[in-house]
């Protein structure tokens, strides 16, 4: 039996028995129209929710772009700060304390290399010539300070968003020479 037939049968039985029965459907039928949104109003509510979600996503995208622009500006124009140098020292010390022989000490978007990271990705021995900004400064510091102390530096592409080179990672190693 269909639910609407069931309600009619119960209503008919109630009337014969002299019992007044009010069902949920009856109560809804007595509510004013203002309590029930129209289909147009429901669609409008859904559209407003979608627009709010799109606005939040757009604001998040704009905030990320601002953050990235500030990073690029700092990366290209400023020098490696004492804070960044201290962080690198902490990373190396912590890795050594954990028994590791290398640590990733710096990362940056590959698009900040003059060739967008292609030389690094291909293992070209001339990859240092593609470095700019703080990456170049860190490499030069490595050559003058860390390399004479026995450290080695390698650069690798550490992620591939959309199949393209993403970020470059600088890995400082203190492993002994393989003989």
pTM summary value? 0.67
User: Are the C-beta atoms of residues 153 and 132 closer than 8 Å to each other?
Assistant: no
Question: To 10 degrees, what angle do helices 133-141 and 39-77 make?
Answer: 40
DSSP H or E segment with residue 134: helix 133-141
* Domain boundaries along the sequence of the chain: 1-36, 38-77, 82-173
pLDDT tens column, 55-112: 999 999 999 999 989 988 999 999 999 999 999 999 999 999 999 999 999 999 999 9
pLDDT tens column, 82-97: 999 999 999 999 999 9
Sign of the CA dihedral running 136, 141, 143, 147? negative
* Whole-angstrom distance, CA of residue 156 vs CA of residue 123: 8
């Amino acid at each position: 039996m269909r639910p609407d037939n069931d309600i009619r049968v119960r209503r008919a039985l109630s009337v014969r028995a002299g019992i007044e029965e009010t069902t949920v459907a009856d109560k809804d039928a007595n509510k004013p129209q203002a309590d029930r949104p129209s289909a147009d109003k429901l669609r409008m509510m859904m559209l407003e929710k979608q627009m709010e979600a799109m606005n939040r996503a757009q604001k998040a995208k704009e905030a990320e772009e601002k953050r990235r622009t500030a990073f690029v500006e700092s990366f290209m124009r400023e020098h490696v700060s004492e804070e960044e140098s201290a962080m690198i020292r902490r990373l190396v010390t912590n890795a050594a304390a954990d028994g590791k022989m290398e640590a990733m000490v710096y990362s940056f978007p590959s698009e900040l290399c003059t060739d967008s990271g292609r030389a690094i990705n291909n293992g070209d021995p001339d990859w240092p010539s593609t470095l700019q900004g703080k990456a170049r400064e860190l490499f030069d510091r490595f050559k003058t300070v860390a390399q004479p102390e026995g450290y080695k530096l390698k650069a690798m592409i550490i992620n591939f968003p959309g199949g393209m080179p993403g970020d470059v990672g600088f890995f400082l190693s203190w492993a002994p020479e393989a003989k």
